[in-house]
Amino acid sequence: MHSFAILEQARRHLSLTSYDYWLEHSLFSWQWWFLLTLSVVPWVIWWILTDRNRIYEIASYGMLIGCISSLLDLWGTNSLFWAYPHQLLWFLIPALIPVDLSVLPVEHMLIYQYFRTWKSFIVALLVAALIVAFVVEPLFVRFHLYVLYSWKFIYSVPLYMLKAIFARWVIERLKASSR
């Protein structure tokens, strides 16, 4: 059998198996409700707290964070560094979309908004990265929302830092070029 046909057969099997698993183990479980909450509540908080005068700039930063987070998540799950036993929607496997496109962008947008100098921004990022890596991620593991294979919590810290620094650098370059 041609190698692409084998890949397609495996993908079809994965899709059907993922759907069955999601129906049986995730849909309407407490984890599912938690993921639904994580998809909505951060955006409500963001809407209340965001600086309306800078909304396009801040939202652009958040969208860039969401894209980078999603790509890193796909890289990590497809490389079998980690996995997520529960998903909000079965077809979004492997990424944890509520975190990638809600929690992390909102967290980073608030840091971006409130810490305007590079020094304060980096300090706030470091504190947030340490909290996420050493408090939030272990809680996600404990509650079976996140499974580590060859990944360690410490590896997350530089990724959280670098993606946010890169995104801020890009937004600042765009702002400078539009003047």
pLDDT tens digits, residue range 129-171? 999 999 999 999 999 999 999 999 999 999 999 999 999 999 9
pLDDT tens digits, residue range 79-103? 999 999 999 998 877 779 999 999 9
Q: Is the pLDDT of residue 67 over 70?
A: yes
By CB atoms closer than 10 A (0-12, 13-18, 19+), residue 39 is middle
The C-alpha atoms of residue 175 and residue 38 are separated, in whole angstroms, by 31
What integer pLDDT is reported at residue 92 of this predicted model? 78
What integer pLDDT is reported at residue 1 of this predicted model? 62
